[in-house]
Chain A
Amino acid sequence: MVQTREPITGKLCLVSGPMIGASGMLGVSMGEMLRVGSLGLIGEVIRINGDTVYAQVFEDTGGMMLGEPVTSLGYPLSVELGPGLLGGVFDGIQRPLEVLRAMSGDFIARGLTAPALDRAKKWGFTPTVKAGQKVVGGDVLGTVQETRAFMHRVLVPPNVSGVIKSVVEAGEYTVEQPVVVLEDGSELAMMQRWPVKRPRPVVRKLPANQPFITGQRVLDCIFPVALGGSAVVPGGFGTGKTVVEQTLSKYCNADIIVYVGCGERGNEMADVLDEFPALTDPKTGDSLMNRTILVVNTSNMPVAAREASVYSGITLAEYYRDQGFSVAIMADSSSRWAEALREISSRLEEMPGEEGYPTYLSARIAEFYERTGRAEVLGTVAEGEEPRQGSMTLVAAVSPAGGDFSEPVTQTSLRVAGGFWGLDASLAYRRHYPAINWSVSYTLYLETLKPWFRDNAPKGWLENRQRAMELLQRDAEMQEIVQLVGPDALQDAERLILETGKMVREVFLQQNAFSDNDAFSSLEKTGGLLETLLEFYDLSKNAIENGVTLNRIMALPVREDIARLRNESNADFAEKRATVCARMRTDVAASATKKG
């Protein structure tokens, strides 16, 4: 829970962009929230020198005069947790943007405050505890149907425990009305607060042994990440980071998505808001928006709130994890957060580390990634029941300057993330989407996921993955030779590798996020496509060994059928594939009997 203290008021003594100083603030602690100036802008204390505090301000500081009042609120930057978050759109400090729009119109005025959770709205609460029962942090007090598909579990806040004195009847309550009173007199409501920079505790972290299924062939098959894992997606501008984040938000197998638009474009958010409500949640069939929480701090919104936005987002995600859901958090782009840190650090005149970033950058990034994971969450485990589990998967975009991955944010993130999906401008230029460079990307989750794939994925999944990687590797080697001496130097068997490599790249690895039939590829389709391509390779190789020329094989019309297979819907795929494979077998065999 959030500790509070009496407010302290001092005077503004410095204004420098997003940073302010205030004197007469003895007693204020690091990380506390401030209301700055006559407009009451929101700030957070980041340095203390005697009775002077320095703070980053989450709104534009233009027009402030020295001497204006600054009040410390006595508690750190926190978010509100409770029913009503799903489907919501919040700014970096969790102000509901629709409410702000109602207050100040189409442009965000300064000094506005609005609670994240609607105070007037009543929710149907069904208690699951009785008077006299002992409860500890994480126990479920009752449930609320938050959206059509989600049963929200109202939890005892971590660090709270006691014996229940009274519980309300099932009925309609606002988020602030107490639903449970403990023997010590403390009242628990559906809403709780949590300071964003403090991780919500869990009982213990669990091994990540289930895959985060994305419907993207290159990810699911070649570089899979686990539920509860983390992936970094670095790439220069326009290489497809946002498309990856948005596509995963639409199709991945997490229950809930927290999408953090950190320092990116307003129109991209308009896009999400336009599209998501109309799409269906692949797991529940309800509107996709109802499993999504948007935290939006676009690039033109105040820079300090960017930093807050990733923490707000991850705290919301933890709260749903604690209820036992699998949550995916999409951070686009974590570089903007790092740059915000750099900007504030430079205003504080701290000694810069690499590329001007503060020396604590890597520590902050590591702490952040450590909040992800699969976990056994808090709460009493009843006799004969399994402990509740939740997971939080992080997909963080990184925007390296000049597209150069050697910069600090990419490198530090790589040290702590388990998956690296590197986007390559030269692939994007060729419209090879998703532009994930298969020769530099990697996943550290493959070993732990192998058993799952063996039991659940189409037959031969792991073996075919291995073969595809080898084929792509040889394809790259052959291409180098061609670049040097031309294709004539190659035998037909080697040129077959080039041709099949091209097919694997174009048919299997490439996937258009805007294609109706191919934006999401089921495991069956992913496995089937690869299997088809490899079978084509084997048949052709065999034919070439029997004296058929490559040109003859390449002229087979069935190649076009194979290329078009990926445009089949997941539902039709198996049937179409059977036809194409049959044709492929007869055609390649026929070419062999004719010789040529």
Chain B
Amino acid sequence: MTGNNQTPAEAPLRAEYWDLTYISGPLVFLKNGGRFPSGAILELTMANGEIRQGQVLEASTSHAVVQVLQGTQGVDVKGTSVSLKQEAATIGVSTALLGRRFNGTGVPIDGLPPAVVDKEMNINGAPMNPVARNKPNDFIETGVSAIDEFNTLVRGQKLPIFFGSGLPANEVANLIVQQARTRDASEQFVVVFGAMGITEREADYFMRSFDEGGQGGRVVAFINKANDPAIERVFTPRCALTVAEYLAYEMDYQVLVILTDMTSYCEALRQVSSAREEIPGRRGYPGYMYTDLSTIYERAGRIRGRKGSVTQMPMLTMPDDDITHPIPDLTGYITEGQIVLSRSLHRQGVFPPVDIIPCLSRLMNNGIGEGRTRGDHRQVANQLYSAYAQGLDIRKLMTIIGEDALSDMDKKFLKFAIKFERELIGQGWTRRTIDESLDASWKLLSLLPRAELTRIDTKYVDQYYQAEEETAATPVS
């Protein structure tokens, strides 16, 4: 959407039309639908000379519906003219975008002149042919046990972070950006950062962290802040992903795309939908939100015969901590798993406060095991999961019957669960290799009797299990 850098003098004369008839919310309606192609980007010139951008959503012989990116405040039907800017929404791409910062539609906000671009690409992209996809199976070591060990991220995956408001999601995302490595150390991630409706403070936190961590020059940022026009948000993830695809599939980069906050994106979508008087779906979000979100999330992946990859980490606030809210729900139906942050772990001071019970990485199996991480990885993770779940049940039971009524076995599981949260999950800002994570896990498993480890092959138990001497009466709570 930045592509048109022509000065007024060079711009060809464009036909202007005084077609506006109706304004509602972020939409304006034009009386002739036959002038512009659907999806075209228009320029609205207001009586005072101010220029805004719009996109044609619907065209019929009687009218056209146009969403105005900067909103319709101050627009009137008499004094505003429309003209065609571009046949479709595009963005200029090149490696010169690395290190640059743009607003939500691709206008530079770092005080530098527009970047020199290679070519313009349609921000909607095109669906990747499923047979062209290369199965994602390259382990990305994030250094975070809760992810590497239990919810392994692989290149080309889309793995969102779900969190309640007030939880340190940005810190977790930043931790991952700072620490992520692929096995081939010569390959580096570049980061495409797409922010929708985040606060000044959050934007500042990310930008500062990228700079301090030395990633600054490897980041392309598209930032739409909370006080920026809401409808622009609909374009932000698409601009970001178009650049990401270019960097990955044409320039061979391994690209990590962070999109935050998808909840603000969905709210912008809802705003447009309600202005169009569409039949609302759950909680007022449009019925096509699944389809719309999938055109964003499915743009992660790898392609056979090409070196680069697009890995996505969308972040979203769960309104009211509710994972069944339509935004996390539809996201979970599209993405390949989810990382969920827990308020109670956060209160206990556990960082990163990842609640592994509702977490999942569906591509984990492809990325782990002998030759990728370690042979015992899958089974250790399964065993820890089940032991932790059991420990949580016992903790619940304890609130009913009291600690004294617990059997010795129950107490072992309880102690395990507590240590699991505090030591394995709550690793703080230290970076662990996957081997270090697994070794730490075996230490925890050794708190349990060997006979309980039925999910692990005996050969691994023999190799790694070291029964601890009964440590005398450690308090469990």
Contacts and interface: CB of A to CB of B under 8 A. Distances in A.
Interface string B349-375: 000000001101011011000000000
Contact of A101 (B129, B334, B457): B129
A346 B278 contact: yes
Interface stretch (B18-26, B56-64, B109-117): B56-64
Interface in A14-29: 14-17, 21, 23
B364 to A, nearest CB: 10
A146 interface: no
Contacts of A487: 397, 401, 407
B34 interface: yes
Given A402-B329, A486-B397, A101 B59 contact: no
A300 B295 contact: yes
Question: Quick one: which of B36, B291, B304 has the most chain A CB within 10 A?
Answer: B291
Interface string B122-156: 00111111111111100000000000000000001
A300 B125 CA distance: 10
Interface stretch (B184-192, B251-259, B279-287): B279-287
A415 interface: no
A267 B124 contact: no
Interface residues of A, number: 77
A402 B324 contact: yes
A490 to B, nearest CB: 12
A430 B382 CA distance: 10
B130 A63 contact: no
Contacts of A486: 397, 400-401, 405
A355 B281 contact: yes
Q: Is the interface of A mostly helix, strand, loop or mixed?
A: mixed
Contact of A270 (B34, B60, B133): B133
A299 B296 CA distance: 10
B287 A303 contact: no
A66 B61 contact: yes
B288 A269 contact: no
Contact of B129 (A108, A336, A404, A557): A108
Interface string B26-37: 000000011011
B11 interface: no
A271 B365 CA distance: 11
B60 A21 contact: yes
Contact of B60 (A16, A263, A352, A430): A16
B39 to A, nearest CB: 4
Interface stretch (A122-130, A167-175, A217-225, A559-567): A559-567
B336 A560 contact: no
A152 B325 CA distance: 49
A202 B36 CA distance: 51
A14 B302 CA distance: 37
Nearest to B338: A238
15 contacts: A62-B37, A63-B40, A63-B88, A109-B126, A237-B329, A238-B337, A273-B130, A298-B130, A300-B299, A356-B280, A356-B287, A402-B324, A483-B400, A488-B401, A488-B405
Give the top 10 A-B pairs by smallest Cβ distance, nearest first.
Answer: A299-B294, A486-B401, A402-B324, A62-B39, A237-B332, A300-B298, A270-B133, A106-B132, A107-B126, A66-B34
Interface of A: 13-17, 21, 23, 60-67, 89, 97-98, 100-101, 104-110, 236-238, 261, 263, 265-267, 269-271, 273-274, 296, 298-303, 336, 339, 342-343, 346, 352, 355-356, 399, 401-404, 429-431, 482-488, 514, 557, 559-560, 563-564, 567
Interface of B: 33-34, 36-40, 57-61, 87-88, 124-136, 156-157, 249, 278-282, 287-288, 290-291, 294-295, 298-299, 301, 303-304, 306, 324-326, 329, 332-334, 336-338, 357-358, 360, 362-363, 365-366, 378, 382, 385-386, 389, 397, 400-401, 405, 407, 451, 454, 457
